[in-house]
Amino acid sequence: MSRANQGATITPESVSNLNESAWYLRSRRLVFHLKNLNATRQLTLALFLSAFCSFQVAASDESSSVTMRVHLGNGTVAQYYGFPESAIKLLFPTGEAALEPNVSIGNWKSTSSPILKKIQVVSVSDTAGRFSVVGATFGDQLFVFDGVFSSDNSIPMSALIRATNSSPRDEAQALGLAKFYLALAYYRLEDPDRFVAQRTTDSATKAASENAKTYSDMIGVSHSPQAFRQGDGYKVDFYTFDPREVVPRRVNHWQIVMGGGNLEERVSAHNEGFHELNLKEKADSANTGEKLRFAAKMMANGSTDDGAITDLQYWTSSDGPGIQRTHYYYGSHELAEKRMQNFLQNAVAIIETRPWLDNHVKSVGTQALLIRAAYSEKTLMASQVSEDETSVLEISCWSLHNLLTAVGRELPDRKK
């Protein structure tokens, strides 16, 4: 039996779920003492404090900034206020970054969002040049975006909309702003005309529809994109393709709601072609419809230049990026330790280290959750790497959220 088929038997419990076809998403989410006041004043003050503190908590969670020293292309250093706080502290722990104007938008066929006239789009990198993320500046404020943060990119986008007073005023502006958001957050400033599905007879789009398992999986493309009023704001519903594919086969469904200076993803990166191919088990659809699921697409064996035999696996996801899993088997502890240290030393950020536990909750080594630059590229990916006596297991994904779901763990509370 090949090592690719033995993965479930040699992997500790913390990652053994990668050999199942489904996982279940898990998550977790001022008390004031009023005295010596009459009932009316108590009620008035309580209402005021409640509203004020709700605002402060929201502002703290969504709009907190970090002071940064930013090295500009002309050799000068400027102070910026970076958003969002959590991403800035994770990617730029020293508080320093390098900034360059990004001219990609100048090559777009159309730029319909008014916000583009108020901001400068930039590339933001660490001072060592190991990675870069997409950014936008407005005055002395810097907003950063990257696909590794998934739908959390809506936090800096909301702050940017409020800072520039760019809430959409009609359906066309809502659609333009939604397209620009995806270009910032997921497509690294690719022209939206290349990834947003349009009402068209384009041969590539037609071929993608005809090659789907059933046309019902693709029916939304025929009316994409749509934007319409919803309450005091707007809702945008549309589909996207991967612009790198000559004949796009993966279809992502997006629903984005904007209003009151906020942007929210309701449905994000939903892989329309996944369900028909991989969700064949008989189950109550009410219990399975919104759960993130994975399915094995490729398994193989290989080897590395440093002497490892590898078990390679790739798992597709029902929502967004899939999982890449590589188990490196060595003939000595020294080689395994060298591989592990290489991951740690080259990490952009180490979020957490902890013992690697086997099926009996016994420690067999060390495990780390980290953000790192992806191979020879300067894009980011999330990885969980685990080392035992003679092997290293790497599980990576372009989305930190999907990685955490796949390995069945939560993001640690970094405040504790």
- Cα distance between residue 88 and residue 297, in whole Å: 35
What gap in Å lies between CA 240 and CA 181, rounded to an integer? 13
Q: Give the tokens for residue 312.
A: 């390679």
pLDDT in tens, the chain (416 residues): 333 333 333 233 434 444 333 233 223 222 323 233 344 444 433 433 343 343 333 334 455 899 999 999 899 999 999 999 999 999 999 999 999 999 889 889 877 789 999 999 999 999 999 999 999 999 999 999 999 999 999 999 999 999 999 999 999 999 999 999 999 999 999 999 888 887 654 444 445 444 444 443 455 677 789 999 999 999 999 988 877 766 666 788 899 999 999 999 988 877 766 655 555 443 443 344 467 888 888 999 999 999 999 999 999 888 888 999 999 999 999 999 999 999 999 999 999 999 998 888 899 999 999 999 987 678 999 999 999 999 999 999 999 999 999 999 887 765 44
Domains of the chain: residue spans and CATH:
3-25+291-406 (3.40.1000), 62-275 (no CATH)
pTM of the predicted protein model: 0.79
Cα–Cα distance between 22 and 79 in angstroms, integer?
46
Strand order in the sheet with 226-230: 226-230, 233-241, 251-259, 262-271
Q: Are 404 and 410 in contact (CB under 8 A)?
A: yes
SS3 call for 116: helix
